[in-house]
Structure 1
């Protein structure tokens, strides 16, 4: 019996489980288990909506795995012993494995800034987003981090709570990585929504009623921290080679360079391509999950896994419920000249960011549909 344990049931982990279960359903020598801290599936692409009190689908991981034969284990992973091939869960259960898929994702990184963990909200889970939603109203909300997550959150808050003073703080200008057309649209929408933008600033401390900058301070009733992410230290503690952010360093097939019986997918993996290391997005995370599943099946069949190849295609950005931009990109993430804005961009983003449940459900029945992502030797998008 081959025991395959998948740690984490986010976009990448659940994709691995669904494809793997579908492709091994006629085998009686494979047992698959998914370990996740909660039963609720976190739609990270929708957390800025949850954070403003908007209803979103409540998807449950056990329901999404029902009928697949995959065992769901609710629990928080506390340790991995790669020599013994075991995983310890917080209720002291010990799970043995022959193949491990590490898909524990990432959370907001306080980056050593004092006060972030005590006084700032994050968008790491639906629960975190709901806590933020309960605090919103009149007053000032400081969104720290001018990346795309910060832009989406600031626009959503400003649109949903027009009486709120929203301040977006960051080292770079919002949309700095977008092309001229898309960036100009981001600037125009933030201005229309009344979002104050302070770029070129460095946050040095978060206090209960203000955000302290290197050269001043911003009064704030509520602080949202979106500046950077980090991964759990479990991989480091297990002796796996990691990069400077704690992500597992993988070979071309997404296996740990330290332990080939450990696959790493999604935000927790440092996956190198010709243009550099992938940054964590749903766009790249789900294909890594598909590729890991296909590679494991190949190894079960006595074949070697193929190399993973990926190229970015677009950067969709919500600007509230009534506006958006979609920047089309080169495979390395650099912007192309073409971009969508306004209602067309809203339609496009809502289409590609729709609930993953229909996709998972189709792949349970037609697992080969997933091959559009991981086909070895071809760049996926």
Structure 2
């Protein structure tokens, strides 16, 4: 009898989405049939939604992947992804010791996520700090720790990351002069109740808000705005959105203008059916034909979608069709305050909002649940692993899914 060949599944990136997808695939598929490899530059999981806490001086619980995936059948490969050849179906890595490696795949799950986006603004790369990565949060932490009382910290960007960073820093260091610069009004996109609570918290924490202010340059001790004014800033924190990893756009994959991989509703690349993209790396459409925003709220459902679709196609089962929708936006405003803004399926604010200490507890439970799900990747799913269909080495590259999949 011909020996059965294992189907090689490589997952690039072990953030919320990549780690979730790898664990879910391990639970769905029979271990004798698949070899699942999770590739990541660091040996432990980073709780990205808590990096503003890390920057403000709090310590986060370590979560080593070796412990998280012990006994699951998921293998961990440490290395930095440097390239993808989708025609040869290979991934190039730089390993921890500086050596080069090449991995072959039958199915690829691209989950390299995103980093901060300086938008080409002069001085940002040289002088600003970011909280989109652990190294960046740690650099900001060290800088804030050495900052004398009364010095100015300017957070640029009025999105959720900016709101959380400004309030966390102001609460942890009430001796500092914290300001937030936003292009529009504070709380744009929130309900009237949400905006009112945001103003209340900012006033209590003593955070100065520069509304309708576009920052056009950053220097070591100040930021310059579009009208030529300057705002003193011993530390500038840049939170004006995210940019995806550039590896995908350097490949033959079809990507959007911003470098995100264009996918179908099952997170499958529209140009290469053996590649799936999830999380911030995917240009996935949500309710109303709107792209899903870069967030953990979008990423985790895309990981479920991709893992279930891959497992179904490899085993000959029906591909699930589960629309992704939003329910709320969870915003921490320091350790004792929060804001839960309820939204429509396509992420538009409704009048209802939860505020105060109860909202802070809600957000904390969401963060803990997300980390727990990653740390226990195979729990809570059916225990029966399905066997692959014949010729598993090519099942991932089967004909594109029908429009309803």
TM-score bracket, shorter-length normalisation? over 0.9
CA distance in 1, matches of 2:223, 2:377: 46
**Contact 1:148 1:174 (C-alpha < 8 Å) held by counterparts:** no
Matched, 1:267 2:280: yes
For 1:155-197, what per-residue CA distance to the aligned partner results, in whole angstroms no more than 9, with x for missing partners? Answer: 0101110010111011022221111001110011011101000
Residue 250 of structure 1 and its aligned partner are, at CA, apart by 0.4
Of residues 97, 108, 119 in structure 1, which corresponds to 2:105? 97
Which residue of 2 is the match for residue 50 of structure 1? 54
Provide, for residues 225-273 of structure 1, a one-character-per-residue CA deviation record: whole Å limited to 9, x for no partner. Answer: 0001101121111111111211101012111111011000001101012
Question: Partners in 2 of 1:61 and 1:257 — Cα distance?
Answer: 31
Matching residue of 1:373: none
Q: C-alpha root-mean-square deviation of aligned residues, in Å?
A: 1.4
Task: Give yes or no for contact 1:101–1:263 (8 Å, CA) kept in 2.
Answer: yes
Check conservation: 2:116, 2:130, Cα contact below 8 A. yes
Distance 1:87 1:345 in 2: 43
**Match for 2:21 among 16, 19, 43?**
16
Contact conserved, 2:69 with 2:377, CA < 8 A, in 1?
no
Q: Please report how far the alpha carbon of residue 362 of structure 1 lies from its aligned counterpart in structure 2 after TM superposition.
A: 4.8
User: 1:223 aligned to 2:236?
Assistant: yes
Superposition pairs of residues 233-252 of structure 1, within 5 angstroms: 233-252=246-265
Q: Which residue of 2 aligns with 1:28?
A: 32
- Cα distance in 1 for residues equivalent to 2:374 and 2:287: 29
Q: Is the contact made by 1:323 and 1:342 (CA closer than 8 Å) also made in structure 2? A: yes
> Does the Cα contact within 8 Å between 2:68 and 2:376 map onto a contact in 1?
no
Are 1:286 and 2:300 counterparts? Answer: yes
Which structure has the larger Rg?
Answer: 2
Matched ranges for 1:157-172 at <5 A: 157-172=169-184
Q: Quick check: 1:300 aligned with 2:305?
A: no
1:231, 1:119 → 2: CA distance?
Answer: 21
TM-superposed CA distance for 1:358, in Å, is 2.7
Deviation per CA, 1:187-219: give whole Å up to 9, x if none: 110111010000111111111111111111111
- Which of 377, 380, 404 is the equivalent residue of 1:366? 380
1:44, CA displacement in angstroms? 1.0
Q: Does the 8 Å CA contact 1:254/1:308 hold for their aligned counterparts?
A: no
Counterpart in 2 of 1:372?
none
Pairing partner for 1:39 from 19, 25, 43: 43
Map of 1:100-119 to 2, 5 A cutoff? 100-119=108-127
Q: Retained in 2: the 8 A contact 1:147–1:174?
A: no
Give the SS at the match of 1:317.
Answer: strand
Shift of the 140–355 alpha-carbon distance from structure 1 to 2, 3 Å rule, reads: farther
Give a deviation string over 1:5-32, Cα, whole Å, max 9, x none: 00000001000011101112x3412000
Aligned length: 368
Distance in 2 (CA, whole Å) between partners of 1:243 and 1:172 is: 26
* 2:184 equivalent to 1:180: no
Structure 1 partner of 2:218: 206
Partners of 1:17 and 1:231 in 2: CA distance: 20
* 3-state secondary structure, aligned to 2:121: coil
Q: CA deviation at 1:124?
A: 2.1
Alignment partners' CA distance in 2, 1:70 and 1:40: 14
* Contact 1:248 1:269 (8 Å CA) reproduced: yes
Gaps (5+ residues) in structure 2? 1-5, 384-405
Deviation at 1:280, TM superposition (A): 1.2
Q: 1:359 offset after TM fit, Å?
A: 2.1
- The answer to whether structure 1 residue 82 and structure 2 residue 83 are counterparts is no
Conserved 8 A contact 1:64-1:357 = no
TM-score by length of 2: 0.88
Distance 1:168 1:357 in 2: 29
What do residues 293-344 of structure 1 show as CA deviations (whole Å, max 9, x unaligned)? 1111111112453445111001111111111111111101111221111111
Name the CA shift for 1:233/1:190 in 2 (closer, same or farther; >3 Å). same
Cα distance in structure 1, aligned partners of 2:276 and 2:28? 17
